[in-house]
Structure 1
Amino acid sequence: MAKRKNNIAAAEPKLGASEWFKKELNKARKGKFLMLIMLPGLIYFIIFQYIPIGGLLIAFKDYSSRLGVIGSPWMDYAGFGHFVRFLNTPDVWRYIWNTIALSLLHIIWLFPLAIILALFINELRSLKFKKVVQTVSYLPHFVSVAAVAGMLTLFLSSQGTPSSAGSYMNEGIVNQILLKLGLIKNGISFLDKTECFRTIYIASDVWQGIGWSAIVYIAALSGVDQELYEAATIDGATRVQKMWYISVQLIKPTIVLLLVMQIGKIMSLGSDKALLLQREVTYPKSQILSTYIYNLGIGKGEFDYSAAIGLFNSGINVLLVIIANLVSKKLTDTSLW
């Protein structure tokens, strides 16, 4: 067989540069419609993803809008002055810890709950009911962050004054329920409580993202051979046993890959919800790196310094992805590359 392959390879004529170019051009002509479909996406990535990479130079410059990025002088410490300033900022480690804490809580709660939801949806036998459950769980994902923050403000608000039976309607719905049940005597402004910020943030994250996060797992479960479940039923396996020993085991590669990707986003927590929910009194827990960058870049116009912090974040995320991928490869033989 090996000799036959060698003979075939030897029989194939070697193409010159012009012949090879013509051959590739013919291939491109045959797939011109596919390339045309791909063109808008390619243009988008070039304009909005690759060209802006050159702007990272601002992180190493003492930026002046008059001189521009290229004309601005380099920072001290061989261009790393902004990074030195960032690491020497008194509260920076608190911002980093707040970011990590929220990201870890997001993973700890949302990641397993999305898997559990997908497993339960997969167990539903009624197709109509399954579609209803899926639709209801997906819908919160399409609610804007501003709308979610507005709803939380309405639900958790309080006048902060002693409430009588006639003044319940001035309170948010959560306070109304607690007051009518007699669990509290006065309304509580939950959004002004530092210790409540993370709970509110993560609970809203879970509500908004659990259904959307479950889509990938539902798709993976749809590819599981149904004969495996039938064989397990014959062997006397319960539903829980089938979920654990068949469903979870067969989608484990998907779970591992998504977990690695989640770990790689630990330092990239969005600023939108944190900015809308935070109050001055909750800064010790609500001020994260992304809100700090927003306040510097948009609020104070320190574009060079905020770009340096963003680059620092990206570097940490890349390092986390590499470490998580190596650990995953050793423990489960599943990795991104």
Structure 2
Amino acid sequence: MMEKQKLLFFSFSCFFLLPLLSGVQGGSSSSSTSSSSQHNTTHRGLYGFHPTKLFVFGDSYADTGNNRKSIADSWKVPYGITFPGKPTGRFSDGRVLTDYLARFLGLKSPIPYRWRKFAANRLRNGMNFAYGGTGVFDTLVLDPNMTTQIDFLEKLVNNDSVYTKWDLQSSLGLVTLSGNDYGAFLAKGGSTQDLPSFISAVVDQLAENLKRIQDIGVRKVAVTAMQPLGCLPRSTVLNSFQECNATENTAVTFHNLLLQQAASKLNINSKDSSAFVILDLYGSFISVLKTKGDFLGSVKFETPLKPCCMGTSSGHYCGSLDEKGAKMYAVCNNPEAAFFWDMVHPTQAGWRAVYLALKSALQKIN
């Protein structure tokens, strides 16, 4: 998701979804209830499966530098001020989900696809095909959607011989889908009445993409449940960052319910009954926001719904400048005490908290 796109708020009524959601509020299984955390695992925690490569597909929640410098806010100051001290194309002040998952696997963060020819020595860690602002369908940006991202991997395997089938058999795929399809749907005039069928279409396409990644040869695929869109600062700004928008989160829960059903079906039809794993971003975000990160010990997010970096006036955003080059944004004193970086994306500290909440789910990848 890209803040600069100014995607429309999900200000729609989803009362028609409630009968479908009776008793289902988490979307995917909670990361906090797994018994797998009782096992003694290595730092990779994969019960015998030790991926040597990570292949990443999706949007700005996973992008580590694929977007073009000329248009992406992620290449502008103050992005990257915490890590590595300058903008690197990550939509955060520092590390993002990809970096933490790679660390969990004992790998270096995979090279962004568009930089592959400049760092051949890093190909051994896998590759990141994610582009901020994209979705399973075409959105409001010109960057490659998920189908095209998967095309890139297929070409590297079949035509360019950069990776072998053996490489893929010892690899893990990470897939993120953070809501750009829905923002684009509404921005292009889609109606709230048609939203349920569009959500079904999005999840159906996502399921096809997951199956295709497996068919190319990637052994296991972790896909994120959608985060609570109603808790993003671009929504909570309407009530001074005090509470989440329950209506938006109801729609997200429907998406996550369909995703869990799709993943279960893929696993039933797969030779490996745990080939597809859902990483519950919804539950993890909610857990961290509710506890204000208290379970981390030294870190506490005092105002978790308020972003660290935001525009100083209407129409401006984190990283925006006026015609004279003067800053039209303000950054909080301590990004490590903020969960959200800008109006859409977590800080490095926020992603670390989410990663810690996801650990038990990660250990299910076996």
Settle same-fold status: TM greater than 0.5: no
Instruction: Give TM-score, length-normalised by structure 1.
Output: 0.29
Larger radius of gyration: 1
Structure 1 or 2: more strand by fraction: 2
Structure 1 or 2: more helix by fraction: 1
Instruction: Give TM-score, length-normalised by structure 2.
Output: 0.27
